[in-house]
Amino acid sequence: MNELHLALIGYGYVGRVFHAPLIETTEGLHLHTIVSRQADAGALHPQARVEADRTRVLADPAIDAVVIATPNDTHAAIALEALAAGKHVLVDKPFTVDLAQARTVMSAAVDAGRICSVFQNRRWDADFLTVQQLLRDEVLGEIAEFHSHFDRHRPQVRDRWRESDAPGAGLWFDLGPHLLDQALQLFGRPQAVGADLLPQREGARSDDYFHVVLHYPRMRAHLHAGTLVADAARRFAVHGVRGSFIKDGLDTQEAMLREGLRPGIPGWGADARDGWLTLADDDGTLRRERIATVPGDYRRCYAAFRDAIHGTGAPPASTAQALEVMALLELAAEASARGQVLTLD
């Protein structure tokens, strides 16, 4: 396969910590250009060109695809520009700020004959892969409850766009796309959604807490995130007719990337914190055992994007999957505002 040249548009925290190193360490990809006004971008990535003018970058025939890591309310407009310029597109989550924009972008991708997908890297979290394997092997039997937490302790409101009152800001649009996508991967489309989105901190301008419940015929999936949780250890709790699985601690890859470690080094994506499996025998006896965590690797998201462009595999998130997440983001916000459980069309 020919090496693909990528342009990274946006070099804030997400672009710098996640996208640039993942592009650089995924086979078959080359970080050709960074669109940024930050002076240190070139020093950290000497092999890449740094350009402030996005228009010039999109007009460059040497660039095959663009990665959009800008504020959420700019995603749709930049994606449409890139598709019109004939580029493939990978957009950081959330895909857009509403379902209508998402449909417009995906329609434009079809018209342009280009791949457009969403950076759902947490499909390759170590803890999620472990839960996915347990469910695939039916270790827990039929699932009754699924609890997915992504809590933090950040009592001070920071002056940044993610915590503003701009469209697409707030914790639900920040972490909700990940937790929704993971639940959809495990259980498919729910029948209904109940939600509570709330600004809790003094001076908060957007939601910094959410508790969303996805309703399935015989199961409930609870998606939760708070910003005032000092004891934020719990990540997953899954309860089925045969037993339960508990996993504490977040996937290690973001912390490793933040420290400047390179994807692919020995031990990459490994998590030494085992999960705990409790199984019930027929006589009611409980057996508890450690479950080693499956290693994660965010580069698999970029590898899927690469293969989709070459026509040898599926994109990391399909059009239907991207639109489903956007529909549920909107529906949960509406359910919270109305104080009702809302059914999906």
Sorting pLDDT into bands at 50, 70 and 90, what band is 81?
very high
pLDDT of residue 89: 98
**Which residues on neighbouring strands pair with residue 222, listed in sequence order?**
147, 213
pLDDT of residue 38: 82
pLDDT of residue 44: 87
pLDDT of 39 > 80? The answer is no
Q: Are 24 and 32 in contact (CB under 8 A)?
A: no
Report the percent of the chain where pLDDT is more than 90.
95
263 prior amide bond cis, ω within 30: no
pLDDT tens, position by position, 276-307 = 999 998 888 999 999 999 999 999 999 999 99
pLDDT of 259 > 90? The answer is yes
How many other CB atoms are found less than 10 A from the CB of residue 272? 9
Q: How far apart are CA 41 and CA 337, in angstroms?
A: 41
**Domains of the chain listed by start with CATH number:** 4-119 (3.40.50.720), 122-299+328-343 (3.30.360.10)
pLDDT tens, position by position, 97-130 = 999 999 999 999 999 999 999 999 999 999 999 9
Q: How far apart are CA 261 and CA 24, in angstroms?
A: 12
pLDDT of 345 > 90? The answer is no
pLDDT of residue 41: 84
Residue 209 token pair:
């807490």
